Structure 1
Amino acid sequence: MADVKYVEATRLYPGNPIPAVNRLDLDVNDGEFMVLVGPSGSGKTTALRMLAGLEDVDEGEVRIGGEDVTNKPPKDRDIAMVFQNYALYPHMTVAENMGFALKLKHVSKDQRLERVKEAARLLDLEPYLDRKPKALSGGQRQRVAMGRAIVREPSVFLMDEP
């Protein structure tokens, strides 16, 4: 994992005089688990999306591992995300869903299987690896989405109401 820093990070939406995120200063140390809590509309999701590169940072900056990533595209930030609206591939098993990003990165089949099994153990999904998403409960599907992010071993792991 890596440290994350917001430096007076601001997000403004056109036509709205009130910033969605206003001069956010926040440090999250390497290995730390941090939770943003606040009422609906307070900018929690917007702040996460700014870190992920899915929302612009209109003022200030966002840093990951000491590097300014404010203008870097999402694909270059080494972030795994599990957002409230997750999507699983219905035609793939749990194991295939969890290992899909690794397959796209040409990670060996043995290494993919090892990472998937370890994440499944952590998330209590081992009995379900051969099932398809339609055969899972909502909570199990959420854990599969989390497992898909965990197996990537990202620098930053974001969860928004998973």
Structure 2
Amino acid sequence: NKYELFAGQNAMLKAMGQPYSELGRVRIVDTRGKMAVGHVEFSCEPIVPGDIAIPFAEKPAITFHMPERFDRFMPSNGKASGRIVLAKDFDLLLGTGSKIYMNVGANQGIKVGDYFRAVRTYEADLRDPVDSLSLTRRSTRRLSKDGCLPGPRNLRST
């Protein structure tokens, strides 16, 4: 896919290395000269001839915990931050359970099981002529005791 979901995505992907998908686990049950015979023990997706096989490496288990309290307005804690660069199957819209790839890792002190907050600024929307119209309408609303008041006269509050 030659199109970027955000400016600089392709350069970040190139710097991160070759993306690949972990399809499943195969156990070798026999070897014959230059050939190995395997049995698919577990798969997340279909495995087809031509897929690459690499030695299996056990990964540490991740312990899940619910945050005690999710504060939507918590300021940054100053620890390492990164960017979501890619998602499994090149997905665009992500949610609970989605697998993502970030441009930070062990070199920045990130460990398996660390948690990040996903946040978004609206700077890119302000630069886009179409999106900025919608964002301006939303951001110019003012609340009063009686409810929502319209913003400037040339904009409608919806």
TM-score range, shorter chain: under 0.3
User: Where is the helix percentage greater, Structure 1 or Structure 2?
Assistant: 1
Return the TM-score normalized by structure 2. 0.23
Return the TM-score normalized by structure 1. 0.23
Which structure has the greater CA radius of gyration?
2
Larger RCO (alpha carbons 8 Å, 6+ apart): 1
